[in-house]
Structure formats: structure tokens, C-alpha cells
Amino acid sequence: MQYQAASRNFRARSLSDFDRPAGSGAFRGAPRGGGTFSLKSDGLPGERSVGRREPSGDCGVRGRRSRLAVRCRIPCFAQSRESMIRYRIPTRKRLLRSALPWLLLAVSCSLSAGTLYKWVDAEGNVHYSDTLPPEDARYGRTLLNEEGLPVERVAPAKSAEEIARERQTRMREEEERRRREEQEAQDRQLLNTFHTEQDLFHSRDSKLTAIDQLVGIAEARMDHLRLQLDEKRHQAAELERRGEAVPPELEEEIRTLNEQIQRSRQLVEEKRLERRQVEQEYAGYLKRLRELLGTGSDR
């Protein structure tokens, strides 16, 4: 194989030396008068040659000697001479240098495959790309690995209506949470205040009794003020019948009595409303207390 590789590209020292006719006892292409011929094999780029020194003898090789030359014994048919073939062997450094661009390309392809995006636009068209255009960032997308399997999913950008709905939902949830916390606080206070239903009834009756007493006092005062007002009015009417002027002091007393009666009437109305509110409030307390205590008796 080495002889065939050398014979494909060789360089002779002189074309005139290759004139021996074919069929003779010598090899066609051997130099006149014996000697040696040199065949040179063009090596690959990025290769270097290694050499070995041959011992001198009858079949010594003449010519330039290079540390990168390898001398091989090639029999000459006409004369027993040596021929020298020069070739180069690629080194590991040069091989790596030659393969570096391909390695970089493979790594780049692998990285690109790891950042492949898949998304569907508004018209339903499916897109694949290693870069995501800014105008398509609003669509949902899927990140694929080098095997084409999804490794990450990104939700599409939300519209203004969706953002508004989410805001309303958050506000509603916050309001529900606040009410729940208030209810829990009220439950703790209710259990700390009323250990039993009897405690609640006693507290309710006490408040209702106090309100009823205030209403009674206000009504009694109002009746007394009405009697005074009737008396003052009667005095003023008598003076007018006699043709006398009503004194300003009497008019002021009548006006004051009317205002006091009006305030008493308003107080009675407020206390009666408060009584109804207390009854409703304690009815709710009783219902919640029974739920917390697990009782169902009624009163």
C-alpha cells in the first residue's frame, strides 16, 4: 500500500534519468548507472513526518537527510538500491485543531436544540424557532429539549379583561378573608363572654330591663311635662280672654316645655328601637353560640 501511495505522486530528480527501455532487466524509472530514486508523497495539511536512520551498507540511500523523512527499503528490479519515500503522519494536536470547528458546530446545534420554542399564533399556526420574536411573546409557548420533549410551558400574556377579572377576584377573596377573620374574632369573644346559654339570657334580659326602665322614666317625665304645658297654656289663654298681653316669661316657659316634651318623646323612640336591636342581636348570639356549643335548646 505504501508503494502504491508513493507511486501516485512522485517527483524524479531529472526526467533524463528515466530513459531505460521497458522490458530490460532494470526497473523503468531507475536512474542511469544504478543509484537511487526518490518518491515524495504529499501529506495531508496539518501533518508532520517522522524519520528513522538506516544503517549504511551496500544498499545505502543517498540524498538529503531530514529528521522528518522515513526511509523505506524498496527493491529496484535492475539494481538492489533503496528508494526513499517521504510522508507525514498527522499529530494529535493538528487533528484536534482540524476537528475543532466541527465540535463547535455540534455544540452550537445542541445548544440551539435545547432552546427551541414552540407556539401557536392567533390564527392557529404552529411555529418552531430557537428565538422568540417580540411580537409573538404574548402567545403561550413551550420550550423543547434536543429530543423534542417539552421541558417548560409559559402561559400566554393576559388581556386587560383578564387582569380586571383577576383583580376583582383578589378583592373578593380579600373581603372574604377579612370577614372570616372577623367572624373568628367574634366567636372567640362570644365564647369568652357567654359560657352557657343561661349567661346569654341573663345578659340579654338585663339590657332589656335597663332599656325598659329608661323608657318608663322618659314616658313619666313626658307626662309631667305635658301637665305643666297644659297649665301654662291655660294661663296664657285666660290673659288673652281678659284682653291682657301674655308676658314674655310665660311664652318662654311654654316654648321650653314643648322642647323638653319633644326630647323625651325622641328618647322613648330611640330606646324602643334599641330594645328591638338588642333582641335581634342576642338572637344572633344565641344562634351562633348554639352552633359553637352544639346545643339546640330554645327559650
Residue closest to 72 by CA, chosen among 89, 52, 49, 91: 52
Please tell me whether residues 72 and 141 are part of one structural domain.
no
pLDDT band with cut points at 50, 70 and 90 for residue 255: very high
Please tell me whether residues 28 and 116 are part of one structural domain.
no
Given 60, 90, 120, the domain boundary residue is 90
Residue 222 maps to a domain = yes
Number of domains, the chain = 3
What are the pLDDT digits (tens) for 156-201? 777 788 889 989 999 999 999 999 999 999 999 999 999 999 999 9
Q: State which residues form the domain around 57.
A: 1-90
Residue 168 maps to a domain = no
Please tell me whether residues 83 and 111 are part of one structural domain.
no
Please tell me whether residues 282 and 249 are part of one structural domain.
yes
Please tell me whether residues 208 and 283 are part of one structural domain.
yes
Residue 84 maps to a domain = yes
Q: Which three cell numbers stand for residue 265?
A: 318623646
Query: Of the segments 19-28, 32-41, 50-59, 207-216, which one has the largest average pLDDT value?
Result: 207-216
Given 90, 111, 126, the domain boundary residue is 90
Residue 171 maps to a domain = no
